[in-house]
Structure 1
Amino acid sequence: MGRMKKLLDQSLRPLVIYAMVVLIISIPVYFLTINWIWENELDKHHYAIREKLEKRLTSMDLPDSSVSEMINMLDKVQPGFSFTQTAAPSPDSSYTLIRFDTFMNDREQFRCLTTDIRVNGTLLRVLIETNMEEIDETILAIAAVTIFFFILLLAGFVYLNRKTSLRVWRPFYETLASLHAFRLEGGKPAALPVSQVTEFTDLNQSLDRLMEASLASYRQQKEFTENASHELQTPLAIIKSKLDLLLQSRSLDQSQMQILEDAYQAINRVTRINKNLLLLAKIEHAQFDGQQDISLPTLLTALSVQFADRFESSGIRYIQQVSEMTLQANPMLLEILITNLLVNSLRHTPAGGSVSIRAEQRKLIFANTGTSPLDEQNLFRRFAQASSEHAGSGLGLAIAREICERYNWQIAYDFDCSHHHFTVSF
């Protein structure tokens, strides 16, 4: 599964990408536009200079020799002007070129106009040049200012959009927080916030109906489980006592005794399932409210003594590596949790294997040797078997998970290096 993304980031991302694309496209457009405007203005300026030059030289009414001297003087001292006498007129030409400029002692870019003027009947070819290096500086300055304000505008847009979106979506996040805190075992629907937005109001009404229906179904399921378990206790006890009497009878042959023994084992299993269902109902009804500080090493040592015979009879080595750790919980629930995990470890450990319990950073790890991983999908489900080889009641790990959920602990399973690992994180 890929990395999750927030809803607000999903809406902002295409806008930011679009803005960046527009910014990138705008840079050459700015350059071409400003360059075109600059060249157009320079061309107008050159024609204005041509008109002024022709009018002033003509209005001065100087003799040809004086006009020639003035033109020679202008040709030498005025940068950007060049005069050449010509016999026939030519079309005007405006163009841009890059050449070495002796005045600036560097390669420069020029905008040029080649045109004709007539002074005292003499036709002169005039070249007017203007250095265009200022264009690059102008373009850079305008581009820098534009980019600055563009980024400022984009940042403001992102900020305002996020602030506005957070305000608009606040009821949604409040609803989400309420749903996170909702628990079926609490018996009450989550308190959803009131919103003036039609869509959020419809969403909350639908969620209210869904939670009410779920709570009703959950209550019915709990009542059925609890009532059925209570009702089954008496007939199961009667059947078990009758079987006890029959097993003590001496008038039965070997085949009849085997049938009774099988029936007795089946009744014992049903009785265990019934007790576990009652225990689950009590846990869900929060009937184990009393909490106290419990020393985990002390509790583990006491329980390991109870399992010593089973470890010895199966040839299983038991290892306990738990330093001092104190938990605040109901003593009975914590004992049931550890007992169920120990029973589960014993059930899935082959003869001659090992079972170890160790503590690491507020984690309790049950490890036991095994041959193949368990079915993780069915591990903590009620009446589901994680392994076909070692069938139990199907409720032990479900009870363990229910206890962990009650205290907001995490329980996880993994299979590594031929060992089953059940980890409870406190």
Structure 2
Amino acid sequence: MPTTASMTRRLAIALTSVVAIFWFVALGLGVYVMQDEFTEIFDSGVQETAERLLIIVANNEARDASGRPVEAAVLAPALNSQYLTYQVRDSNGMVLYADGAQEPFAVPLSAGFSQTATHRIYTAATTDGTLFVQVADALDHRSEALMEGGTALLLPLLLLIPGSIAAIIFVVRGTLSPVAQLRDEIHTKDGGNLAPIDESALPKELRAIARSVNSLLARLKSALEAEREFTSNSAHELRTPIAGALAQTQRLLSEVPPAFHQRTAQIERALLHLGRLAEKLLQMSRAEAGIGISDERADLLPVLMVVVQDLERSPLGASRLNVKVEDGTALERSVRADAFAIVLRNLIENALIHSPPQSPVDVHIDINGIRVTNDSALIEPDVLVNLTKRFTRGPTEASGSGLGLAIVKRLVEQMHGQLLIASPARGMTQGFEVEIRL
């Protein structure tokens, strides 16, 4: 899928293109005006030169007729032979004097401007029509002057385009910085961070957007709180009847004849499994509601100790937990305490359930997070990668729902942490290890 160009890039390209187009239009108009003005200037110079030469030549011919000496060299300084050439012709078209081409110009002997493929020619004539002076200006000279003028207008454009791009990007980025700030603020909002956006630092054009986002966040926060309250109440309401049914079944087991013990024990196991499954499903529901992140930082070590002490008092974890906290460790994170407790309880319970009876379970805590290690058979890599999926279990005969690691993964993702699982555990030839980096 093609990537969407940024507003800065679009504005830079659009504004630079508009400036360049207007500059090219101005360049075209400037060249057109220069061509017209250059034509007038060059024609005026050619005409003035021809008329002055005519006076000189006519006076020279008059002196020659009276017998006075003639100095023809006085005609040459009046012309710049680099650009202009001239011819003095009689009424028959014969060339009397010439500077440059000796062949008569291929234009009629009539006063005014004429043009060939290579020259612009002005013809000046005496009143009696006996002498004609023709001054020719090369068209290449005019084209060269026009080209140099157009180039002088085009060269600034080569500096204007990159300069405009840099200036526009600088200005646009500064102008759009509040938009980027608002985008970053919205990006941080999730189920755990629903604090309203500060509108005071935003320009008035963006305050309406911020108010709309704040209104949406308020409604979302209310909905999430209602969902969390519902799941919490549901957990209590489900546990109570299941615990009651389990208690009645256990009492019944002690009262029924031995012939019914097996069936009653099956009912007891089914109720125990139902209770654990209901608890896991409610935990998954809470995890999906986004309870992982908190607006405030909390010290998680006391939560860890409460969970460990609670499990140590249970028959499953009695005398099996080895907890090691490295010196100077402080687990202060923007994480909800109840969500962290759910993660820890699932990890340690899984380690206790899926390891050999009475085998130790190590809980290691350092500044980066928590690592839980237990003894178990080696788990193949293709099975290992699927253990965090819902209702997926490894090669074990222990009871379970296959939701523990899925709940842990969901909550750790909300905490912006990382869940790592490995088998064998580090320093062992077998075993299972789960590490949470926060």
Q: 1:94 aligns with which of 107, 112, 115?
A: 115
Distance 1:189 1:423, change over 3 A: same
**Residue number among 62, 69, 72 corresponding to 1:70 in the alignment:** 72
Query: Any residues of structure 2 matched to 1:404-419 within 5 Å, and which?
Result: 405=414, 408-411=415-418
Report if the CA contact (8 A) 2:54-2:125 is conserved.
yes
CA gap 1:128/1:227 in 2 versus in 1, 3 angstroms: closer
Q: For the Cα contact (< 8 Å) 2:54–2:132, is it kept in 1?
A: no
* Secondary structure in 2 matching 1:242: helix
* 1:31–1:269 distance in 2 versus 1, CA, 3 Å: same
RMSD: 5.7
1:12: Cα distance to partner? Answer: 3.0
Query: Which of structures 1 and 2 has the bigger CA Rg?
Result: 2
User: Match of 1:203?
Assistant: 209
CA apart distance, 1:399: 4.1
User: Which secondary structure state, in structure 2, belongs to the residue aligned with residue 46 of structure 1?
Assistant: helix
Cα separation, partners in 2 of 1:347 and 1:114, compared to 1, 3 Å: farther
Identity %: 13
Deviation readout 1:64-107 (Å, 9 max, x if unpaired) = 5689863895399851323152526446433574xxxxxxxxxx
- CA–CA distance in 2 between the matches of 1:279 and 1:128? 94
Report the equivalent of 2:426.
none
State the alpha-carbon separation in 2 of the partners of residues 278 and 153 from structure 1.
55
Say whether the 8 Å CA contact 2:125–2:132 is kept in structure 1.
yes
Alpha-carbon distance between aligned partners in 2 of 1:215 and 1:335, rounded to the nearest angstrom: 22
Residue 280 of structure 2, aligned match among 269, 273, 285: 273
Q: CA deviation at 1:54?
A: 2.3
Query: How far did 1:158 drift?
Result: 5.1
5 Å-filtered alignment, 1:84-123, equals 84-85=88-89, 87=92, 89-90=108-109, 92-94=113-115, 97=118, 112-119=119-126, 121-123=130-132
User: Does the CA-based 8 Å contact 1:292-1:328 persist in structure 2?
Assistant: yes
Indicate how the Cα distance of structure 1 residues 236 and 29 shifts in structure 2: closer, same or farther if over 3 A, else same. Answer: same
The SS at the match of 2:418 is: strand
Matching residue within 130, 136, 143 for 2:154: 143
Question: Which has the higher relative contact order, 1 or 2, with Cα contacts under 8 A spaced 6 or more apart?
Answer: 2
Query: Is the CA contact (8 Å cut-off) linking 1:187 and 1:215 kept in structure 2?
Result: yes
In the alignment, the residues of structure 2 paired with residue 362 and residue 262 of structure 1 have an alpha-carbon distance, to the nearest angstrom, of: 39
1:267–1:178 Cα change, 3 Å: same
- Inter-CA distance 215–256: structure 2 relative to 1 (3 Å threshold): same
Which residue of 2 is the match for residue 328 of structure 1? Answer: 331
* Deviation at residue 412 of structure 1 after TM alignment: 6.6
Who is 2:52 aligned against?
A: 52
Cα separation, 1, equivalents of 2:125 and 2:290: 115
Distance change in 2, residues 1:153/1:267 (3 Å): closer
The partner residue of 1:82 within 73, 86, 107 is 86
**C-alpha offsets along residues 229-262 of structure 1, whole Å, 9 cap, x if unaligned?**
2233333222222233445554345883575256
In the alignment, the residues of structure 1 paired with residue 195 and residue 78 of structure 2 have an alpha-carbon distance, to the nearest angstrom, of 99
Cα deviation, residue 226, structure 1? 1.5
Give the conservation status (yes or no) of the 8 Å contact 1:57–1:67: no
Q: Give SS of 2:331's match.
A: strand
| Residues 396 and 363 of structure 1: CA distance in aligned 2, closer, same or farther (over 3 Å) | closer
CA contact (8 A) 1:82 1:126 kept: yes
- For the residue of structure 2 that corresponds to 1:235, the secondary structure is helix
Q: Residues 88-134 of structure 1, C-alpha deviation per residue, up to 9 Å, x if partnerless?
A: 6446433574xxxxxxxxxxxxxx33233335723344434584555
1:397 deviation in Å? 2.8
Match of 2:407 in 1: 398
2-structure distance, mates of 1:114, 1:288: 92
Closer, same or farther: CA 395–35 of 1 in aligned 2, 3 Å: farther
Give the aligned residue type for 2:13: R
Judged with a 3 Å threshold, the aligned counterparts in structure 2 of structure 1 residues 253 and 152 are, in CA distance, closer, same or farther, namely closer
The answer (yes or no) to whether the contact 2:350–2:404 under 8 Å persists in 1 is no
Partners of 2:242 and 2:216 lie apart in 1 by 38
TM-score, normalised with respect to structure 2? 0.59
Question: Alpha-carbon deviations, 1:274-297, whole Å to 9, x = none?
Answer: 7847986996697994345999xx
- How far is the alpha carbon of 1:220 from its aligned partner? 1.3
Question: Structure 1: which 5+ residue stretches go unaligned?
Answer: 98-111, 308-322, 349-360, 380-384, 415-420
Q: 1:40 to 1:250 in 2, by over 3 A?
A: farther
**Would you say the 8 A contact 1:71–1:83 is kept in 2?**
no
- Is the alpha carbon distance of 1:69 and 1:324 closer, same or farther for their aligned partners in structure 2, counting shifts above 3 Å? farther
Q: CA separation of 1:238/1:149 partners in 2, compared to 1, >3 Å: closer, same or farther?
A: closer
**8 A contact 1:94–1:113 mirrored in 2:** yes
Aligned to 1:62, the other structure's residue is in SS state helix
1:369 is the counterpart of 2:364: no
CA distance, structure 2, for counterparts of residue 67 and residue 262 of structure 1 = 145
User: Are 2:346 and 2:404, in contact at CA under 8 Å, matched by a contact in 1?
Assistant: no
Segment of structure 1 superposing worse, 132-141 or 25-34:
25-34
Query: Is residue 245 of structure 2 the alignment partner of residue 239 of structure 1?
Result: yes
Q: Is the 8 A contact 2:13 2:165 kept in 1?
A: no
Cα distance, 1:225 vs. partner?
Answer: 1.4
Does the CA contact (< 8 Å) of 2:194 and 2:218 recur in 1?
no
CA distance in 2, matches of 1:250, 1:347: 32
Give the residue type in structure 1 aligned to 2:124: I
Spell out the pairing of 1:226-305 with structure 2 (5 A cutoff). 226-247=232-253, 249-253=256-260, 256-257=263-264, 259-260=266-267, 263-270=270-277, 272-273=279-280, 276=283, 289-292=298-301
C-alpha contact (below 8 Å) 1:93/1:114 kept by paired residues? yes
* Residues 363 and 47 of structure 1, relative CA distance in 2, 3 Å threshold: farther
Separation in 1 of the partners of 2:386 and 2:59? 108
Q: Which amino acid aligns with 2:89?
A: Q
Deviation at 1:340, TM superposition (A): 4.3
Q: What secondary structure is seen at the aligned counterpart in 2 of 1:401?
A: helix
Compared with structure 1, are the counterparts of its residues 144 and 291 closer, same or farther at alpha carbon in structure 2 (3 Å cutoff)?
Answer: same
TM-score by length of structure 1 reads 0.60
Query: What corresponds to 1:417 in structure 2?
Result: none
Asked if 2 retains the 8 angstrom alpha-carbon contact of 1:412 and 1:424, the reply is yes
